[in-house]
Amino acid sequence: MKRIILMLCWLTPVVASAQINKGVRFQNLGNWAQVLERAKQEHKNIFIDAYTTWCGPCKKMDAEVYSDVEVGEFVNANFIAVKIQMDDTGKDSDYARKWFPDAKYLMNKYHIDAFPTCLFISPDGELLQKDVGYQVPKDFLAILKNAIDTEKSYAGQIRMFKAGKLINQELFSLALKAKENHQDTLAMEMAKEYKKMFIDKSTPVKIIDDRLPHFISEFIDLFSTNDEIIQFMYHKPFLADSMMKIKGFARRVSDYIIDRGIISPEIRKDGKYVTILPAWSEIEEKISKKFDPKTAKRLIINSKVGWYGHIKDWDNIIKYKVEQLDNEGLDTVGLASMGLNNLCYNVMFLHTNDPYALNKAIGYMEVILKNNPQSHAWLDTYANLLYKVGRKQEAIKQELIAIKEGTRAKDENLSLYQDVLRKMQENLPTW
């Protein structure tokens, strides 16, 4: 029995050590230069866990992933692993504070803007791979293996692109990844090649799917109205939308490209609006001839709203904004209602005395208040508009409701509503 106890005592430190050392062994190195030096000495790549103290997924990675035996074995065998705190709480350890200058350098160099970010870097500082967010151990292990694969890693894929060895879908994903990594010039080269190899040589019905909008949004400047896929979106927008699973996307794309090609060169120079009145009729005629009169009118109205808005010509801003809404209808979904309220108050109420425009604004407010009759801010807008057209008693009634709802919500603007009510009761302007 004594012999067994002695053996157990001898084994206990070994077992405890094995339990302590399981998982990823992050090294306590003093700065980035030391990490690079250690990586060169040991002929290993570098794994950086860039985290913040407030990040929940970061803590989950610590508890569930970095503690995993299989993950730990792979990282320890192939990487110099370092944890770097990216935020400054004012109550940080000496070790964390010592790393702050290099943390800032790495954040800028590798464009770290979400946490956790896992960076895989060669001893020479080359970005091998970058991944963001929580991953379960199995998926993280796959990421680790990809990071050291000379063909599957981000760096390996770039080398394959430069050697002309990537197939279409790999190039699609890599162009988007390069864009995410802020390597814009490289991303554009890849996107051009993908468009030339695949999009330009295929029919729209073969290539339009729910992934394509992401590519078009990131690289829209590669497209023109001469592209077959853009022509398809222009002529068959509802079909294209259904294939991409985004309502209104096809028209937004074709509108943007028509604007960029025909309207923008006439009303902007070096990205800024020109000060000379644009030849609106001539521009509209150009669009009508190449496309259709309805599209031309709609785009010209949109451009007029922007141009007159730039020079703060309130009468024309209101005129063309009303015309735009009459043509396209009111969008009252989500944030669009807030935008409509802002238009009615900050533009129409404050900057016109035209009864027609003010009554239009009253109508807009009545529409959005049907969906949210308790909105004290919208009720205040509505009341002010009623008061400005001379409907004083209705205005006072609505302002009282705004005060009631604002009181219930404990809104900070309550005193403003009360001041508006006082002015209405005393026949004073509220604008």
CA atoms of 380 and 396, how far apart (whole Å):
10
Domain 330-431 grouped into CATH 1.10.3470: no
Residue 358's nearest CA partner among 331, 333, 383, 337 is: 383
Is residue 349 within 8 Å of 361, Cβ to Cβ? yes
E runs forming strands in 124-237: 127-132
3-class SS of residue 83: strand
Which CATH code is given to the segment(s) 32-150? 3.40.30.10
Beta carbons of 84 and 11 less than 8 angstroms apart = no
Q: Where are the beta strands (DSSP E) in 244-396?
A: 268-269, 272-273
Amino acid identity, position 125: G
Query: Which amino acid, 382?
Result: Y
Cα–Cα nearest to 45, from 84, 75, 85: 75
pLDDT at 240: 97
Phi, psi dihedral angles at 289 (to 5 degrees)? -70, -40
- The CA dihedral of 260, 261, 267, 269, to the nearest 10 degrees, is 80
Distant-in-sequence, close-in-space partners of 85: CB < 8 Å, separation ≥ 6: 51, 52, 53, 92, 96, 99, 103
Residue ranges, comma separated, of all CATH 1.25.40 domains in the chain are 330-431
pLDDT of residue 164: 92
Rounded to an integer, what distance in angstroms lies between the CA atom of residue 266 and that of residue 278? 7
CA distance 29 to 102: 12
Which residue do the tokens 């967010």 mark? 133
Q: Which of 378, 414, 421 is nearest to 399 (CA)?
A: 421
DSSP 278: P
Distance separating alpha carbons of residues 322 and 351, to the nearest angstrom: 14
Cα–Cα distance measured from residue 180 to residue 178, given in angstroms and rounded to the nearest whole number? 5
Residue 82 forms beta bridges with which residues? 48
pLDDT of residue 6: 41
Asked if residues 49 and 83 have their Cβ atoms less than 8 Å apart, the reply is yes
Q: 247 is written with which tokens?
A: 């309502």
For residue 1, what pLDDT is reported?
A: 47
List pLDDT tens digits, range 115-128: 999 999 999 999 99
Q: What is the model's pLDDT at position 167?
A: 87
Enumerate the CATH 3.40.30.10 domain ranges in the chain, comma separated.
32-150
Question: Other CB atoms closer than 10 Å to residue 61's CB: what's the count?
Answer: 25
Residues forming beta bridges with residue 268, ordered by sequence position: 273
Residue range 268-305, pLDDT digits in tens: 999 899 999 999 999 999 999 999 999 999 999 999 99
Distance CA 149, CA 43 (A): 15
- pLDDT at position 21 is 59
Q: Which amino acid is at 215?
A: F
Assigned token pair, 352 = 């016109």
DSSP class of 133: S
Q: What is the end-to-end Cα distance of the chain in Å, rounded?
A: 95
Contact 226, 250 (CB under 8 A): no
Per-residue pLDDT of the chain (431 residues; tens, 9 = 90+): 444 444 444 444 433 333 445 899 999 999 999 999 999 999 999 999 999 999 999 999 999 999 999 999 999 999 999 999 999 999 999 999 999 999 999 999 999 999 999 999 999 999 999 999 999 999 999 999 999 999 999 999 999 999 999 988 899 999 999 999 999 999 999 999 999 999 999 999 999 999 999 999 999 999 999 999 999 999 999 999 999 999 999 999 999 999 999 999 999 999 899 999 999 999 999 999 999 999 999 999 999 999 999 999 999 999 999 999 999 999 888 889 999 999 999 999 999 999 999 999 999 999 999 999 999 999 999 999 999 999 999 999 999 999 999 999 999 989 999 999 999 999 999 99
